[in-house]
């Protein structure tokens, strides 16, 4: 479980923070009211994802608590009751995560957002593209303080190679002037392969040209920052852009996924299927399309209830995704019907794979409220890659109905093939 250390001498505020961290984030919250207690916790256990630290404690009135957590390598969010420019500069010079004023309840919401962000950040890679080694070092330290994975490139060509090798990159900072490629040219090159809702780009420049922000944005950047910038502004822009990507990803997820089974929906199957089929044909790869239908599904609903039927759909969708999601597209086409479109699978391999799938489903009953609900599937497999997607689907559907007519719980792969049935 993710663990957070709260160092705060106000019992009421500490209790409020700990309660919300546990209830809303599901993290373990460990509290300390003094520097001595915090030191003892850190010396015995270093497994804290972050620390929420009051800058003034009875035995640490001058911020020693912040020094303690930072020295232990724990990302630190500072609480303070007052703020001045000098204090703000002091905070950022220590490379804290952020500071929060204790002046309103809404700031606790902000802290929870920061903690949630910190937990996710190790899965987010940020690429810093700049020919200045010193700037890459400074930017890398800022990003590391927020637990981001950091990649560096000294020029545009190196940046494009890194993007190709690291699909986990979600944000790129691009300097305007580099020896091998202008920043705006790099942004345009990035946008030829990575859309704005999948990869954020922030343009950077130390040149006082008021036209540069608009030029970067028109080239495809999501945002722009002028060097030198404040750490606070850098983090704010970074977070804002990443949260926009996450919102877009959630919207895509809702549009593309079946709400019940979480595999893709019919709409996505057809739109992405056309692209998969086109890529496979260009590469000369074989393609298979299979349709699956749960046998006697109405009897499952009638006997055990519709919630059991929903559980059966989710169970079989999970097996399908585990077996075929990496090879292609798994989708719920409607009702109790599923489709699988996979490239790189020969007809012989397809017959074997879907035969194994049929046997696996037959041997894996759905567990529902202490009972085991047996389920089987009938499968039609089309291996004619020369057909259109619609034609492949109709052929798979025809073979599916043949499998049902011949007794269900079987795979039909072609008219001349003998159906593979279970015992």
Domains, the chain, ordered by start: 3-119 (3.40.50.2300), 124-254 (3.40.50.2300), 266-421 (3.30.70.270)
Percentage of the residues of the chain whose pLDDT score is greater than 70 = 98
Strand residues in 64-196 grouped as ranges (E): 76-80, 98-101, 125-129, 149-153, 169-175
The pLDDT of residue 323: 95
Closest to 178 in 3D by CA, of 230, 225, 232, 133: 133
pLDDT digits (tens, 9 = 90+) for 247-300: 999 998 899 999 999 999 999 999 999 999 999 999 999 999 999 999 999 999
Q: Any idea what the Cα angle at residue 421 is, between residues 418 and 423, rounded to 5°?
A: 140
- Please state, in angstroms and rounded to a whole number, the distance separating the CA atoms of residues 373 and 311: 10
Adjacent-strand bridge partners of 100: 79
What's the gap between Cα 142 and its chain centre? 22
What does pLDDT average to over the chain? 93
Q: 28 phi and psi, to 5 degrees? A: -85, 130
Is there a contact between 175 and 129 (Cβ–Cβ < 8 Å)?
yes
pLDDT digits (tens, 9 = 90+) for 342-389: 999 999 999 999 999 999 999 999 999 888 999 999 999 999 878 999
Residues 6+ apart with CB under 8 A from 86: none
Residue 137's SS3 state is helix
Residues 6+ apart with CB under 8 A from 12: none
Tell me: pLDDT of 58 over 80.
yes
The pLDDT of residue 330: 97
- The pTM of this model reads 0.78
Is there a contact between 379 and 354 (Cβ–Cβ < 8 Å)?
yes
Q: 225 phi and psi, to 5 degrees? A: -135, 140
């Amino acid at each position: 479980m993710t663990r957070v250390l709260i160092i705060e001498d106000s019992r009421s505020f500490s209790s409020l923070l700990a309660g919300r961290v546990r209830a809303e984030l599901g993290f373990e919250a460990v509290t300390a009211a003094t520097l001595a207690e915090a030191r003892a916790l850190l010396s015995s256990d270093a497994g804290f994802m972050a620390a929420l630290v009051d800058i003034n404690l009875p035995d640490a009135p001058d911020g020693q608590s912040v020094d303690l957590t930072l020295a232990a390598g724990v990302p630190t969010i500072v609480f303070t009751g007052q703020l001045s420019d000098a204090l703000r500069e002091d905070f950022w010079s220590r490379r804290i995560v952020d500071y929060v004023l204790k002046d309103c309840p809404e700031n606790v919401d902000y802290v929870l957002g920061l903690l949630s962000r910190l937990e996710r950040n190790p899965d987010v890679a940020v690429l810093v593209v700049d020919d200045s080694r010193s700037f890459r070092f400074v930017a890398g330290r800022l990003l590391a303080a927020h637990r981001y994975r950091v990649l560096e490139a000294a020029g545009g060509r190196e940046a494009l190679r890194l993007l190709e090798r690291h699909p986990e990159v979600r944000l790129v900072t691009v300097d305007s002037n580099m020896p091998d490629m202008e920043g705006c040219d790099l942004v345009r090159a990035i946008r030829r392969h990575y859309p704005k809702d999948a990869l954020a780009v922030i343009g950077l420049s130390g040149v006082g040209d008021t036209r540069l922000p608009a030029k970067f944005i028109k080239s495809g950047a999501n945002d722009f920052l002028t060097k030198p910038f404040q750490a606070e502004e850098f983090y704010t822009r970074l977070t804002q852009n990443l949260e926009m990507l996450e919102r877009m990803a959630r919207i895509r997820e809702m549009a593309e996924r079946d709400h019940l089974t979480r595999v893709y929906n019919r709409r996505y199957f057809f739109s992405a299927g056309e692209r998969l089929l086109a890529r496979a044909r260009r590469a000369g790869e074989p393609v298979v399309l299979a349709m699956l239908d749960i046998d006697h599904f109405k009897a499952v609903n009638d006997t055990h209830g519709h919630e059991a039927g929903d559980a059966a759909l989710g169970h079989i969708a999970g097996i399908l995704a585990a077996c075929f999601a990496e090879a292609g597209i798994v989708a719920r086409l409607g009702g109790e019907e599923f489709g699988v479109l996979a490239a790189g699978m020969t007809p012989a391999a397809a017959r074997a794979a879907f035969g194994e799938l049929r046997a696996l489903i037959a041997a894996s009953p759905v567990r529902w409220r202490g009972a085991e609900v047996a389920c089987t599937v009938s499968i039609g497999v089309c291996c004619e890659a020369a057909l259109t997607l619609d034609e492949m689907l109709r052929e798979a559907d025809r073979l599916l109905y043949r499998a049902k007519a011949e007794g269900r719980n079987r795979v039909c792969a072609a008219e001349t093939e003998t159906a593979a049935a279970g015992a």
